[in-house]
Amino acid sequence: MKTSLHPFLSDIIDYAGLYPPSELPLEEAFIKYLSHIEQKEAWMLSKFVVGTGLLSELITLIDAEPESPSPFKITLVGAASDDVDGFKKVIDNTVEATENALASTAKKIRVSTLEIKIPSACLKEENSSYLQAAIGYAVQSMAKSKLLPHQIFFEVPGFDFDIKYAKELVQGIHRHNEWLESNEKENYSFSGFKIRCGGVEAFQFPPTDYLAEAISFSRQNDVPLKFTAGLHHPVRHFNDSVQTKMHGFLNVFGASLLSYSKKLSEAELLEILNDENASNFSFRKSEFSWKTHSISLEELHMFRSLSVTSFGSCSFDDPVEDLQELNLIS
């Protein structure tokens, strides 16, 4: 019998085996992704994450593999840049590389999202025009062709976890999304905010109060969220390998979904994010709940689709094995 766990976790993991700490060679990551697609837990698996520079090589592997899924879903990661001019060059290169790579294949490939860091210079200028120029250029460039990513998630660079930069970026995304809506632009999708939740060292893990404020502010501005890094495990816990507490994906997604549904306070979100007791996360047939807060199946489907999308993980096995240990999946 299916429970609310299915819409909660469906298509939630973007496979990022190319990135730390796994850092697999492209062919090995590709083979692993294909093997994960054959697992019974594949309903939790979403897109393959690849940098723009490796897209052409990936498509060569897809073409040579008759068992490649159709469509093969890809998330592109754009290169970092220092300023608006450098950012525009990265976007131009991404457009060119994507169109060239897709022109060479007969396979059905869907490059659905682009993830890219906004230059720090755009967030530290008093005049928000730099930020709006960068966001606008990226979105309009991607809208030129249906072959290009239809949704962009922008990220704050670095590991300072200064909430003012997160808020500035979210406000910039919100302003541009509002402009798109008011002008009824076609072939455009609302942009979102990508939150980094960890890395390979302790300083790369944001404090829970940063996450709570970032999630709440994104919800207030109706900006979609996705997450990356440090979310290999379902529930928050101390991890010996990085000597710090790691965030759990049940915590992060539970807090985010309940925030969008119930407009919880930051204090309530903080309590969910800090919770290390897996039994407080309940998946019934008709609803997901954390303690006394709950969200219906209909809302789960809606908010997962529109607002709280996915997380990147270099491992698919770790989340699956942990969920099995918690008896949430068999």
Residue 187 has pLDDT above 70, yes or no: no
Q: So what's the pLDDT on residue 126?
A: 63
Question: 144: buried, middle or exposed (CB in 10 Å: 19+, 13-18, 0-12)?
Answer: exposed
Q: So what's the pLDDT on residue 330?
A: 86
Residue 189 has pLDDT above 80, yes or no: no
What is the residue-averaged pLDDT of the chain?
A: 93
Residue 186 has pLDDT above 70, yes or no: no
> Strands 237-239 and 244-246, how do they pair?
antiparallel
60-102: pLDDT as tens digits: 999 998 888 888 999 999 999 988 999 999 999 999 999 999 8
Domain 11-232+308-314 is classified in which CATH homologous superfamily?
A: Aldolase class I (3.20.20.70)
Calculate the CA dihedral of residues 204, 205, 211, 212 and round it to 10 degrees: -150
200-243: pLDDT as tens digits: 999 999 999 999 999 999 999 999 999 999 999 999 999 998 89
DSSP run (H or E) holding 246: strand 244-246
Mean pLDDT of all residues in 259-273:
97
Which residue type is seen at 217? F
Q: Cα separation of 133 and 136, whole Å?
A: 5
Q: What is the pTM of this model?
A: 0.95
